[in-house]
Structure 1
């Protein structure tokens, strides 16, 4: 699982590097994607990684927060993201096989599923969900960058493997 989280961190760094060259207007431009702008999509990815890491660490905190992602600035997201990546790495390195396979219950807010729901999965699936979620939305940002006339970075897993 470290390989997957390291890949996700690498790909997000590349996207952030390109996005740092955008103007504030470009970052927040309505582009019609699921979270409408590059910045709002970055906030959503960042918040998802933050929430799921907290869920892995805080065993007794079973309820995911409702509502939209906090409206952090681009600069704050760039500054705080490495801490999340370190958090995943440290948690995975310290987790025993029993902790990775232990099923935990999470109460999803009604904004995720109408009426809310209980999600019961092993912790390793939460880690892979966080990586997959980030990959999905990074792809949307790639499309938004193209629509802004910006050449996006190559974030495919194959390119990551070439850096190893």
Structure 2
């Protein structure tokens, strides 16, 4: 269903996109970062925190990494402020990239079992969980892109074909 190359490309895309967001939020005042903009997770910061939380929870399921220190209900408050988010995001992207660089075809086969916050164990093909993690990233970064644009900030391109070549 997916290959190690897919995982590596998507991890590289994720890191590229988050590097651009880290640059942008380094200049955002905390009140602008935390301002409720009517998005599902409220603010730019809340959405970025939820996205980080999602990556941490999925990597705990996929690769056995440590889960985030809070549950879904508190995911929008995972870190406090742009600097703390940027630091945690950088570390998470590094762990995702290392995992992708080392993953084998055999390691992409199997199932994952977890209990969502609503209860009841769920089983999912591992490859589907990985695809969901990468799709979840793109979905919420799109929301952040819209909030930044509405705030008068022009984010860099998000188009996969324009990702810089690995150097």
- TM above 0.5: yes
Tell me how far apart the structure 2 counterparts of residues 123 and 95 of structure 1 sit (CA, whole Å): 12
Q: Please point out which of 119, 140, 143 is paired with 1:140.
A: 143
**Mean alpha-carbon deviation: is it higher for 28-37 or for 50-59?**
50-59
The CA RMSD measured in Å over matched residues stands at 2.1
Equivalent residue number for residue 4 of structure 2:
none
Give the structure, 1 or 2, with the largest relative contact order (CA under 8 Å, sep 6 or more).
Answer: 1
* Partner residue, 1:159: 162
Which of 12, 27, 31 is equivalent to 2:37?
Answer: 31
Most deviating of 88-97 and 17-26: 88-97
Q: TM-score, normalised by structure 2?
A: 0.82
Give the whole-Å Cα distance in 2 for the aligned partners of 1:81 and 1:71: 11
Q: Which residues of structure 1 form unaligned runs of 5+?
A: 111-115
Unaligned stretches of 5+ residues in structure 2: 1-6
Counterparts of 2:107 and 2:71, CA distance in 1: 23
TM-score, length basis structure 1: 0.83
Contact 2:61 2:112 in 1 (8 A): no
Distance 2:78 2:98 in 1: 27
State the Cα distance separating 1:65 from its structure 2 match: 4.1
Counterpart selection for 1:49 from 39, 47, 55: 55
Q: Distance in 2 between matches of 1:66 and 1:141?
A: 18
2:89 corresponds to: 81
